[in-house]
Homo-oligomer: A and B are copies of this chain.
């Protein structure tokens, strides 16, 4: 095992100087730093950074814990967090697959959570009762799903209102047979329940009945689920003139099925998604969607996390980030969508 003394001897400096280089102390001359780094390479010395983080009381790591890293919404949100954290912290991403034991692991500091200075968690399954059992520990901020808990800061968007706006956009176009697609009816994620609630409220506002045959929540929230649910809707007697999809992936899957079936979008069926992922800006047709302000979500969550890391122990706050409806070709057609694009200010 190579020690700091071996490196010091080889570089012709004191062990203290080696330690200064390893700990990125600013007052080391470039020449000394170079000599020490060379000696580190040559000896294969491995500075014990775990020990260092113990001494300094911080690791410089922020953990972002999301259900699925390969879902574009979470990938884009991850990018937003990296942009907000800048050079000060390294973001490491972990995923739970929405499994309650993995979420519990994060919340209760089992597993490896103790390595992080702060945690941002998007829970799918943990409820307020379980969260309430957590004592003090690594500062934790929640994002995404609405969990009613005063114990943690929580950054959300108003999913019910956002869904209502999306469906209102369809009713205002004279659409009367509006289907809802994505996720299960007995959903285990709170978000899809809230969005489905907004759908029902918007139907009610417009005096439209909720129709069981137009409720195609029969799967998960990936492209293949949207494609399948749309095929099912087309083959059923209850053919819709519009589809509200509970996220963009489902909408992109639905668009694919409609294209294969030769159904014209938006002429025969209008389609709305939710999340504003990049795919929907380049799909054919481009996708009308609800855009949560991802940069703002990241900024607000990191602001709260910094306060908590600095020792703030005030009660948890629920903070509502902005969203807006982005109208594109899948509801407006090519010409109208272009008008909308020119009229709207660019996203902040």
Chain A interface (Cβ within 8 Å of chain B)?
22, 24, 37, 40-54, 59-61, 63, 68-72, 75-76, 78-79, 82, 90-95, 108-115, 133-138, 223, 227, 252-253, 255-256, 259-260, 278-279, 281-284, 286, 334
Contacts and interface: CB of A to CB of B under 8 A. Distances in A.
Contacts of A82: 69, 95
Contacts of A94: 90-93
Nearest to A222: B278
B59 A50 contact: yes
| Total copies of this chain within the assembly | 2
A45 B284 contact: no
Given A69-B78, A72-B75, A283-B284, 10 more contacts: A40-B135, A43-B135, A48-B54, A50-B53, A60-B111, A69-B79, A70-B76, A70-B79, A71-B75, A256-B282
B47 A282 contact: no
Most chain B CB neighbours (cut-off 10 Å) among A60, A75, A94 = A75
Nearest to A51: B54
A60 B50 CA distance: 13
Contact of A42 (B43, B111, B135, B138): B135
A253 B227 contact: no
B95 A282 contact: no
Nearest to A137: B46
Contact of A54 (B50, B69, B136): B50
B114 A90 contact: no
A41 B92 contact: no
B72 A69 contact: no
B59 A112 contact: yes
A136 B259 contact: no
A237 to B, nearest CB: 26
5 closest A-B pairs by beta carbon, nearest first, are A44-B135, A49-B114, A44-B136, A92-B92, A70-B75
Contact of A108 (B41, B138, B260): B41
23 contacts: A22-B110, A24-B110, A41-B134, A44-B137, A46-B109, A46-B137, A46-B138, A50-B50, A50-B53, A50-B54, A50-B59, A51-B54, A52-B114, A59-B115, A60-B112, A69-B82, A90-B111, A115-B115, A223-B281, A227-B282, A252-B279, A253-B282, A259-B284
Nearest to A21: B110
Nearest to A338: B260
B41 A133 contact: yes
A90 B70 contact: no
Contacts of A260: 334
A48 B114 CA distance: 7
B282 A284 contact: no
Contacts of A137: 44, 46
Contacts of A54: 48, 50-51, 54
A108 B41 CA distance: 8
Contact of A75 (B37, B59, B75, B109): B75
Contacts of A281: 223
Contacts of A71: 75
A58 to B, nearest CB: 10
A281 to B, nearest CB: 8
A252 B282 contact: yes
